[in-house]
Amino acid sequence: MRRSDMDGIKIRLQHQRDKFELTLPRGSRLPCLTREAERLTGVEASRQRLICRGKVLTDSSLALDSLPPKAGAEISVMMLAKESKGSQAVRSWRHFHRLIHAWLLTIWAFLYSFFHSLLAPGAYAGKPGKAQEHRTDGIDPTDLARLAACGAGG
User: In the prediction, which pLDDT does 4 show?
Assistant: 45
Q: How far apart are CA 62 and CA 33, in angstroms?
A: 11
Q: How far apart are CA 34 and CA 41, in angstroms?
A: 10
3-82 sits in which CATH class?
Answer: alpha beta
Q: In what order do the strands lie in the sheet with 9-15?
A: 18-24, 9-15, 74-81, 48-52, 55-57
Q: What is the pLDDT of residue 125?
A: 72
Per-residue pLDDT tens digits for 63-115: 888 876 665 567 888 887 777 778 778 888 999 999 999 999 999 999 998 88
Is a pLDDT exceeding 70 seen at residue 129? no
Q: Please, which residues bridge with residue 63 across strands?
A: 29
Phi, psi for 49 (deg, rounded to 5): -125, 110
In the prediction, which pLDDT does 110 show? 93
Q: Which of 26-30, 56-60, 131-135 has the lowest mean pLDDT?
A: 131-135
Q: What local confidence, expressed as pLDDT, does residue 87 receive? A: 79
pLDDT tens-place string over residues 2-51 = 444 456 888 889 888 889 998 888 888 999 999 998 898 888 888 888 88
